[in-house]
Structure 1
Amino acid sequence: MKTKIVTAIFLLMGISVFAQNVNNIQMPELLNNNSRKTINVPNILGYQTLKCDFHMHTVFSDGIVWPTVRVDEAWNEGLDAIAITDHIERNPSKQDVGGDDNSSYEIALPRAQQKNIILIHAGEITRSMPPGHFNALFLKNTQAVDTENWRDAFTEAKKQGAYLIWNHPGWKAQQPDTCLWWDEHTELYNKGMINAIEVFNEKEWYPIALDWCMDKNIAPHSASDIHGINSEMYNLEDYHRPMTLVLAKERNLESIREALFANRTIAYFGNILAGKKEYLKAFFEASVEIHAFNENNKEKSYIIKNASDVPFQLSSSNKSFTIPANGEALVTLPSNFKNEFVIKNLFIKGTENLQVSLNL
């Protein structure tokens, strides 16, 4: 009799457990762990190197995502600061989503504060060429920039203290045959209304624009100009999204503003850096560490370590090698080696690479 009772109890317990499992079984292992990617770039020259993307769109212009998604993407991908730059004049979604030219910033700001992403109030002045498209950063009221005459739009943006970036100057939809600097750009430049130029946009690299930046002391920028979902656009396993590295005194909005107006930027896209010689040289020197380990009368061997996400492609008259990202290279050089290299993926002009001597 006791055996039957015990058996019945175990059966009832099994039925009870089984019934609970049928109602709700949690499988948290299927969920994204929401981890943030780390972008390994050195702090240089006493500044913090902030990772920034100042060109992107949402449903409040011709993008396909809600503004908070841009913040989430930026956090997941390791950025420090972003600007949502919805088109001011051309907004095909306005009749569907409502709001005004300030709405994407206002919606995204609480999420940015929650995730420690610095969000810059901005918009894109969207005009035919010339002068083309310009992002205006640090606006106070984007709606006020929506004027019929493009010169009035720039004047209003400048009145608000905007930092103005000439977007995709070589975009074939506006410059199908060549990448030109127009008289209208000289007019804007002379009035202090071209603070930066995108030398890279989305998947396009404009070497001539880097020449303009260096010749005219204008900051080079790189940006995604993302309209869709960033992870569907870019190969984020092997690369980062295009971004502008800003050399800021501190990690805050005012320090970014100061750094931008002081032209302390490096354009970072693919495995390429583009910018002023002194910034690229400092970036390289802060990233690499060289150790000699074997020497004889004819040659000397070195281990060269790289602590950054940027591989360095070095070339000389008789020796070429790559120092891999977050890795090291074993390099053997003859004793009479002439220590002069160009780094093929670091550009100080459109067709000119950074030259270095290794600390051997």
Structure 2
Amino acid sequence: MNNLHKKKDVYELTRLNNLFTRNEINIPGFDDYRVLKCDFHTHTVFSDGLVWPDGRIYEAWQDGLDAIAITDHIEHRINQDLLNGDLNQSYKIAKTAADDMELIVIPGVEITRDKPLGHFNALFIQDANLIEKEDPLDSLAEAKKQGAFIVWNHPGWPDNNVTLYPIHEQLITKGIINGIEVMNYKDFYPKAIHWCVSFKKTIMAGSDVHCTISGMYRNRFRPMTLVFAREKSEAGIHEALLARRTIALFDGYMAGEIQILSQFVKSCIKIKYMKNSCIAVTNVSDIPFHIFNEDDSYMLPERKTIMMRIPANHLWTLENCFVKEDSKLSISINELRLE
């Protein structure tokens, strides 16, 4: 009974409480930027989700995130007859819990229409109520008026066709769309990476979680956006998103602009030259890397060191790092840090 905490006649097994246990994710930054792990696409009972807003905060904290956005649908509120409160209510509830957990919560909404328009998240909004309009283009215009960062969500859903329609070209040309989800829920859209690079839009990933997230990804990371920010704050995240300093991460796959992704890889991997024409390669991050080295393929697990021969051309291809739809990141080992 030495491990039990007694209160009068009751013994508490407090060691079994895992609610306030955080799964830390160790990912290095580079230069003066720190990495913030963010999920910019979540839903609560105030639209069509199954979780109370503060529950999303506890989940995010447990998953090792630094920030989330509450992005309930404006038009799709299945519990509207049961719940009081306006369109800002879910954010307000989440914000109270987030302040206690020192987690950043970003106000947002999802503007929801069928294709060809599709769905859009408006982040960093001021008042969700003003964004509710009959015409979705008016909703987007109001969101931009409030200074919102607009994300085109899951371009391959629900028909599995990743299509750039004329309406999207118009919204991109007008500067309405700021970012595009290349990873969402359980889907990966490599084609959308090309659009982000071509149109200079921010590469994003989000879970789009509706039910409880525990167990959904079999103890792997949820889809998230790695944000390289100057400071841990809402303003710091906003600035980094506008500057396109992001990497989309899901199931060990990454997508990012070549400059950002190459700098990130250099911060994660270091090498040591051995006496036998081999190198020791160390991954200091919690993200695995799949290295193709001439005719050889290596898995570099998270926080592990492996030995490999030195490639004649000193070049690697990172098979899990996408810089375009059909292009992986190539990097010279001469650019990596020496241990």
Superposition TM-score tier, normalisation by shorter sequence: over 0.9
Match of 2:305 in 1: 328
SS in 2 for 1:78: coil
Identify the match of residue 353 of structure 1 among 320, 325, 328.
328
Could you tell me which residue of structure 2 aligns to residue 215 of structure 1? 198
For residue 96 of structure 1, give the secondary structure of its aligned residue in structure 2. coil
Q: How far off its partner does 1:232 sit?
A: 3.0
Stretches of structure 2 that go unaligned for 5 or more consecutive residues are 1-5
- Work out the CA distance in 2 between the residues paired with 1:185 and 1:301: 50
Distance 1:114 1:85 in 2: 20
Counterpart for residue 294 of structure 2 = 317
| TM-score normalised per structure 2 | 0.94
1: distance between equivalents of 2:295 and 2:207?
37
Give the counterpart letter for 1:187 in structure 2.
Answer: Q
Counterparts of 2:293 and 2:12, CA distance in 1: 59
Q: Contact (CA 8 Å) 1:272, 1:310: kept in 2 or not?
A: no
- What are the Cα deviations for residues 184-242 of structure 1, in whole angstroms up to 9, with x where unaligned? 11111122111000000000000101110011110110110000111132212xx2111
Give the equivalent residue in structure 1 for 2:3: none
Change over 3 Å in CA distance of 1:177–1:140 after alignment to 2: closer
Shift of 1:22: 8.9
Structure 2 residue aligned with 1:15? none
Q: Distance in 1 between matches of 2:302 and 2:32?
A: 23
> Residue 21 and residue 275 in structure 1: after superposition, are their counterparts in 2 closer, same or farther (change >3 A)?
closer
- Partner SS, residue 169 of structure 2: helix
Q: How many residues align?
A: 330
1:2-30 CA-partner distances (Å, limit 9, x unpaired): xxxxxxxxxxxxxxxxxx99932232233
After the TM superposition, which of the residue ranges 338-347 and 23-32 deviates more from structure 2?
Answer: 23-32
Of 42, 64, 84, which residue of structure 1 is paired with 2:28? 42
User: Is contact 2:172–2:199 with CA below 8 Å preserved after alignment?
Assistant: no
- 1:186 corresponds to which letter in structure 2? E
Q: 2:165 aligns with which of 173, 177, 182?
A: 182
Asked whether 1:53 is paired with 2:34, we answer no
SS at match of 2:274: strand
What whole-Å deviation, never above 9, does each CA across 1:108-135 have from its counterpart, x for those lacking one? 1111011011111111001121211000
The one of 164, 173, 179 equivalent to 1:196 is 179
| Distance in 2 between residues matched to 1:74 and 1:209, nearest whole Å | 26
Provide the residue aligned with 1:244 in structure 2. Answer: 225
Question: What's 2:97 paired with?
Answer: 111
Which amino acid in 1 is paired with 2:33?
Y
Counterpart residue type for residue 121 of structure 1 = P
Deviations 1:71-107 (A, max 9, x none): 0011111111110100011111111112121110011
1:83 aligned counterpart, secondary structure? strand
Cα distance in 2 for residues equivalent to 1:330 and 1:143: 57
Is the CA contact 1:105–1:121 (under 8 Å) kept in the aligned structure 2? Answer: yes
* Aligned residue runs from structure 1 range 17-166, under 5 A: 23-32=9-18, 34-166=20-152
Whole-angstrom distance in 1 between the partners of 2:305 and 2:263: 19
Q: Which has the higher helix share?
A: 1
Structure 1 counterpart of 2:214, one-letter code: S
Q: Find the counterpart in structure 2 of residue 262 from structure 1.
A: 243
Higher strand share: 2
So what's the TM-score if we normalise by structure 1? 0.88
Distance 2:193 2:225 in 1: 13
SS in 2 for 1:121: strand
Percent same amino acid among aligned pairs? Answer: 41
Backbone CA RMSD of aligned residues: 1.6
Match of 1:307 in 2: 284
> Which of the pair has more CA radius of gyration?
1
Report if aligned partners of 1:145, 1:157 keep a CA contact under 8 Å in 2: yes
